[in-house]
Structure 1
């Protein structure tokens, strides 16, 4: 097909549709004409995609049809159906698709933390790097527990800080470096602190203060790191998709994870702000933390498997994400 000739013949139709789509008020006849032109231009777009897929023309007509569709159906307004779709389909699908990445990251970080903790607890030089004997004793006996002061302000501070770190892991994941740095730094810090507390005979206190909120909080960090690394791997190995398309699709889907983790981290922040440092029995605190983690994984596995089976990935739908050209093979 001669695209230039086709464009010359159809331009008047496209321009008329554009003019009608820009009007704030339409007569009955103009509304009917708008619908007819919308259908005709949609056919033109389909023809161009199949016979002469020029990216500029495809983008032009897609934008034109989008504006015309808004004029016909009315502008899209946020609705509870969008929120429901995100919570029930998009987010669990995105989490489910990276579940094995999350498991791998979790295992790796736990191993690093245990090694770091054992090193600090058994190596005098490593222990001295954590501070003087008086500083270590003061931290283990008082400062560590005093940090968890129950308050709404503390919960909000913890939430915003962790949500920002999670967003960075996903947003800068394509580098492949930042997620690894965040994960390794977090694992070493937690492990080294635990090793120092163990040397002071306060390992039980350390675990009991970390467990209530840390089970969900650390899992959220692991998920964010897994999402970032999955995005990096998409850049390395896009599969059969063109690299730009693969990155766009996976980037949108995995940023869904970052948004969803803000909710999970809000829950862990509330636990850290109001449960960890409270006067509740330790068994109750740890049970609350374990229940929050179990709920997160049940949400990921049960709803995620169902959403993926239905064809969801966490990406935007076609109307919002934009159409793509078919790829052979």
Structure 2
């Protein structure tokens, strides 16, 4: 084999492969296919040169080029901690931010529903009578009664763990059942608001609404926000079944489903913080204003996290999905 002729014939291909490798993740679909083709050709060229035992410098260059191309084509993974960092600083907040047009209306309408139910129960003694006997209601709403003792009925650590588990399960159910046109999600939201509304109504009817809010707000702001985010994501997933947009229904559901799985993990972390507040802050001896301040601070921190980090990632194109290399290709690609 005439090495000079061989190099002259194929140098442009090697230079093109090196150029594509420098571009990294910014390749178009056609360029990615071209990279695969050039990688296969260069691997063949390297094999021919190694067989002939000619030009160690050229062999070294092509060996390095083929190794880089192989790592790109086969999708070499980054360290796990970097994936986790990207998820927490980009993917999860971006997913929450992008779904805000679903969970914010869900939050507003749910809060109005809970308030309406609470007003109706609190101003209608006959409705209260259908919930329980007068003695039972007095036991629930009196100082030190069931509503207050609930938060200190178990050791803080085990109580926080129990609350976290229950809320994480509820959020996951909203995300999973969203695929059923979102109907189960609406029912779960209604049940949550009904329970909250009953508490508001009974405690306001007993003249102790301030005590009830002092117990609920420290952890409830962040907890309910997480539930609303889960519900909004579930409703969005359900709407995708009805209207997948310009993509196929399968592709749209796959993308939304992957984002929902990531959302479940992220919300579990948010609910862990809420559970810690409910287990340690809500039943504490801190003054009511201090406990509520902690709850407001946690809520504001989450919103800033979503709107600053999430907004920035969303504007950069992050949709809360896994990285492109980890997705199933929607169209056949060159191999």
Q: TM-score, normalised by structure 1?
A: 0.76
Equivalent runs, 1:1-329 vs 2, <5 Å: 39=40, 76=77, 79-141=80-142, 142-149=145-152, 151-175=156-180, 176-325=182-331
Extract structure 1 runs of 4+ deviating beyond 6 A: 35-38, 70-75
CA contact (8 A) 2:160 2:275 kept: yes
The 2-side partners of 1:71 and 1:298 are apart by 36
Deviations 1:46-105 (A, max 9, x none): xxxxxxxxxxxxxxxxxxxxxx96899797475211011101110011000011211100
The 2-side partners of 1:304 and 1:104 are apart by 19
CA contact (8 A) 2:168 2:267 kept: yes
The 2-side partners of 1:288 and 1:41 are apart by 61
Deviations 1:178-232 (A, max 9, x none): 1101111101110111101111111111100000000100111111000000001
Deviation at 1:136, TM superposition (A): 0.5
Deviates most, 116-125 or 285-294: 116-125
The 2-side partners of 1:133 and 1:88 are apart by 51
Structure possessing the higher radius of gyration over alpha carbons? 2
Deviations 1:84-133 (A, max 9, x none): 11011100110000112111001110111011111111223321122101
| Alignment gaps of 5+ in structure 2 | 1-35, 44-68
CA contact (8 A) 2:103 2:232 kept: yes
The 1-side partners of 2:84 and 2:300 are apart by 23
Deviation at 1:169, TM superposition (A): 0.2
| Alignment gaps of 5+ in structure 1 | 1-34, 43-67
The 1-side partners of 2:72 and 2:246 are apart by 37
CA contact (8 A) 2:75 2:325 kept: no
CA contact (8 A) 1:213 1:289 kept: yes
CA contact (8 A) 2:118 2:199 kept: yes
Residue aligning to 2:29: none
Query: Residues 38 and 126 (structure 1 numbering): CA distance in 2 closer, same or farther, change over 3 Å?
Result: farther
Deviation at 1:165, TM superposition (A): 0.5
CA contact (8 A) 2:259 2:322 kept: yes
The 1-side partners of 2:307 and 2:267 are apart by 15
Deviation at 1:251, TM superposition (A): 1.1
Deviations 1:10-37 (A, max 9, x none): xxxxxxxxxxxxxxxxxxxxxxxxx999
Deviation at 1:237, TM superposition (A): 0.9
CA contact (8 A) 1:109 1:187 kept: yes
CA contact (8 A) 1:130 1:196 kept: no
Query: Residues 36 and 301 (structure 1 numbering): CA distance in 2 closer, same or farther, change over 3 Å?
Result: closer
SS at match of 1:201: coil
